[in-house]
Amino acid sequence: MRIFIIIWLGQTVSIIGSGMTGFAFTIWIWELTHQVTAIALFGLFAQLPQVLMAPIAGFIVDRWNRKYLMIVGDTVSGVVAIAVLLLYSTRHLQLWHLYLAVAIQGIFEVVQELAYSTSISTMMPKQHYSRVSSLRFLADYGSSIIAPTLAGILYSVIGLVGILIIDIVSFVFAVTTVLGVHIPQPSMTAVNTQSFTNWKQEIYFGWHYIAVRPSLLAMLVLAFVFTFAYDFGLSIYSPMVLALTGNDAKVLGTLASAAGIGGIVGVLLINSWGGFKRRIDGVLLGMIGVGLGKIIFGLAKTPLIWIPAQFCSSLNFPILGSSCDAIWLTKVNPQIQGRVFATLKVVTLVASTVAYLIAGPLADYIFEPAMMPDGSLAPILGWIFGTGKGSGMAVLYFISSLGMLLIGLSGYAFRTLRDVEIMLPDHDANTALRK
């Protein structure tokens, strides 16, 4: 556990530094262009390379030393940050430079992230997988509170230069923590060395591995549909809140803090309790809890209800996520986790991208006009969601939230999913039998 805590601490500092830089970049882009599209493209250039790189990254992670891959990932991100710092300091920084920078970071980030996540099963016994995964959620939720707050305060004091320097220092700290520890590597056996010369087969290995295991395939489908429903709502969440509050950024910030605190409480709950004995219950009940919280959020029209609803919804994510991670870590052999987890990442990234592409036009061109006082849906749904700006997005948000609830409930209808821990043996079962 000590080794993981050291690595986790370094990665947490790095995540906070990257979060601060991302927030500062968003402010800089807005000050430069005053265009929402420019900010949206910034996010697209950060995510799209990860979709394309993930299958190759899985192959790389299973073949090479995961400790060194983590070091390379953080080092390249640090070098890119230095390049942006130099461009900005010499007044040569342009928008396309940032797009290129986050694209390069995205490529190496997916390698680093897969190397980090697949190292858990080689460092920790499986009974601690849920607790360890919850600590990773703590890093994410902690960053969601700390990074925007610090960046918002420091941007006006030390500017983009100062925040980039902090980010670079955070990368150095992350690399130093990894350098100082030993990360066990999975043994290279026939399971993961066969046909390495046929790189196409290796890239598609994760898909084939999951496809012939119905329970893992069910988990993959579950991840896709839930991610789609969640990110569909997430994509319209901020504009919906701003529209309903008259562009009150303070309310949006308060809700972000409530979500972060809820996530941290969820992490503490998992670490003290250990999670459900049946991990799949943590996944499905967590989805149901998230859906219920967001349904209440979508129906409400006041921050007095939004804040506790957001807190309760976010509290479920560490339970959901740590339980899901524990199942995958327990059922997939560490020797092939890179390729299998890369497949999972591709599926969730595609679901997220499709959700973002669909939700915006639906809100702008169909539901928002339909929920205006004279709109076609106003007489039917206006008494529930109100009419005017933001009401159409509230309808869409409610639909996506209801989808999350139904996805969690429907999981219990499929035996391949609800009995995944019984139907699929742990990856160490054969080893235990030989002993």
Given a contact cutoff of 8 angstroms between Cβ atoms, the answer to whether 291 and 254 are in contact is: no
Given a contact cutoff of 8 angstroms between Cβ atoms, the answer to whether 371 and 391 are in contact is: yes
What is the residue-averaged pLDDT of the chain?
Answer: 86
Composition of the chain by helix, strand, coil, percent to 5 = 85, 0, 15
Q: Is the pLDDT of residue 299 over 60?
A: yes
Looking at residue 198, what DSSP letter applies? -
CA-only gyration radius of the chain, Å? 22
* Domain coverage including residue 254: 204-426
Q: Who has greater pLDDT, 135 or 97?
A: 97
Average of per-residue pLDDT across 86-106:
93
Residue 37: band (very low, low, confident or very high) from pLDDT cuts 50, 70, 90? low
Type of residue found at 376: S
Q: What burial class does residue 242 get, using C-beta atoms within 10 Å of its C-beta: 0-12 exposed, 13-18 middle, 19+ buried?
A: middle
What percentage of the chain exceeds 70 in pLDDT?
93
What percentage of the chain exceeds 90 in pLDDT?
45
Q: Residue 430: what pLDDT?
A: 45
Residue 221 structure tokens: 């489908």
| 422 belongs to a structural domain | yes
Domains in the chain, number: 2
The pTM is what? 0.79
Cα separation, 280 vs 316, in Å, equals 14
> Which residue is associated with the tokens 């339980």?
323
Q: Is the pLDDT of residue 358 over 70?
A: yes
My answer on whether 241 and 334 are in the same domain is yes
My answer on whether 211 and 173 are in the same domain is no
Best CA proximity match to 408, nearest among 397, 417, 399: 417
Residue 431: band (very low, low, confident or very high) from pLDDT cuts 50, 70, 90? very low
Q: What burial class does residue 37 get, using C-beta atoms within 10 Å of its C-beta: 0-12 exposed, 13-18 middle, 19+ buried?
A: exposed
Type of residue found at 212: V
Q: What is the CATH number of the domain that holds 163?
A: 1.20.1250.20
Domain termination residue (choose one: 144, 166, 181): 181
Average of per-residue pLDDT across 224-248:
88
| 197 belongs to a structural domain | no
Sign of the CA dihedral with 283 first, then 115, 343, and 347 last: positive
| 47 belongs to a structural domain | yes
Q: Residue 226: what pLDDT?
A: 98
Domain termination residue (choose one: 148, 181, 214): 181
Q: Is the pLDDT of residue 198 over 90?
A: no
